[in-house]
Amino acid sequence: MSAVTVNAKINGDPVEFVCEPDETLLDVLRNRLGMTGAKEGCSTGDCGACSVTIDGRLTCSCLVLGAEVEGLNIGTIEGMANGEKLHPLQKKFLEHAALQCGVCTPGFLVAAKSLLDHNPKPTETEVRFALAGNLCRCTGYDKIVRAVMDAAAEMRRA
């Protein structure tokens, strides 16, 4: 295998990394860059725990090769809060107890932010379908949906 050198941006910051051509972006984030906020729940794109955005587009980082992101901007959970200030979604997830074990939480937050970026006033049904690619086994989704709806309302007021 011939390793590939990649220049990209993560949460706006420039990064350079070397990876094997068969390594996924998730592997790169976790094992090469020490960014373990994205989680590997399945490695087949079925659980959403590794959700990131690439140039603003939501995707599973387990379904992307590290080599593919040359010149692209990756958004991860680590870039969601603005300094000390939590994103409204992060705040509402805490207030609504929308997490139990918390391993799916980064993926849900990234996916929910992507939804609200495109649709600031989603219905409950829209939230549920937008988040169908994120599996949560603890909560039954109830509090997650409430937190997202509440965050959306707060962001509209702001």
Partner 1 sequence: MPLDNTESQTRKFKVIGTRPIRPDGIDKVTGRARFGADAVAPGMLIGRVLRSPHAHARIKSIDYSKAMKLAGVKAVVTKDDFPDKTDGDAALYDVLYNVMAREKALYEGHAVAAVAATSAAIAKQALKLIKVDYEVLPHVTDVDEAMKPNAPVLHSKIFTDGVEPKPKKASNVVRRYEFGHGDVDAGFKRADIVIERHFRTEATHQGYIEPHACLANVGPDGQGELWVCTQGHFMVRDTCARLLGMDITKLRVTASEIGGGFGGKTTVFIEPVALALSRKANRPVKVVMSREEVFKATGPTSSSSIDVKIGCTKDGRIVAGDATLRYQGGAFPGSPVEFGAMTAFAQYDLENVRAVGYDVVANRPKQAAYRAPGAPMANFAVESVIEEMAHKVGMEPIDFRIKNAAREGTHSSYGPVYGPIGLLATLQKAREHPHFRAPLGKNQGRGMACGFWFNFGGQSCVTLNVGVDGTVGLVTGSPDIGGSRASMCLMAAEELGIPYDKVRSVVADTGSLGYNDVTDGSRTTFATGMACILAARDAIKKLCARAAQIWGIPEDAVVWENGHARPAGANAGNFEPMSLKEIAAQAPSTGGPIAGHHEYSADGAGVSFATHICDSEVDPETGFTKILRYTVLQDAGKAIHPSYVEGQFQGGAVQGIGWALNEEYIYGKDGRLQNAGFLDYRIPVCSDLPMIDTVILEIPNPGHPYGVRGVGETSIVPPLAAVANSVSAAVGVRMTETPISPPKLLKALESLGGMKKAAE
Partner 2 sequence: MRYERPNTLQAASQLLAKEKGSAYVLAGGTDLLVRLRTGFVEPDLIVDIKRVAVTRTIAKGATGWKIGAAVTGAELGENAALKKAWPGVVEAANLIGSKQVQGRCTMTGNLCNASPAADSVPALVAAGAKAVIVGPKGRRTIPVEQVPVGPGKTSLKKGEIIESLLLPARPARSGDAYLRFIPRTEMDIAVVGVGVSLTLDAKGVVKDARVALGAVAPTVLLVPEAAKAIIGTKLDARAMDALAAACSAACKPIDDKRGTKDYRIKVAGVLAKRAARIALDRAKGSK
The DSSP code for 87 is P
- Told to check if 94 binds partner 1 by CB under 8 A, we report yes
Nearer Cβ to partner 2 (5/85): 5
Taking residues 9 to 48 in sequence order and writing x for each that binds partner 2 by CB under 8 A, - otherwise, the string is -----------xxx-x------------------xxxx-x
- Told to check if 82 binds partner 1 by CB under 8 A, we report no
Q: What is the CB neighbour count within 10 angstroms for residue 12?
A: 9
Interacting span for partner 2 (CB under 8 A) from 77-85, 123-131, 139-147, 149-157: 123-131
H/E stretch holding 107: helix 105-118
- Distance CA(77)–CA(36), nearest Å, equals 9
Interacting span for partner 1 (CB under 8 A) from 30-38, 53-61, 65-73, 150-158: 30-38
Name which of 142, 147, 145, 140 is nearest 130 in CA terms: 145
Could you give the dihedral angle defined by the CA atoms of residues 57, 117, 108 and 67, in that order, rounded to the nearest 10 degrees? 20
- Told to check if 117 binds partner 2 by CB under 8 A, we report no
CB of 123 to partner 2, least distance (A): 15
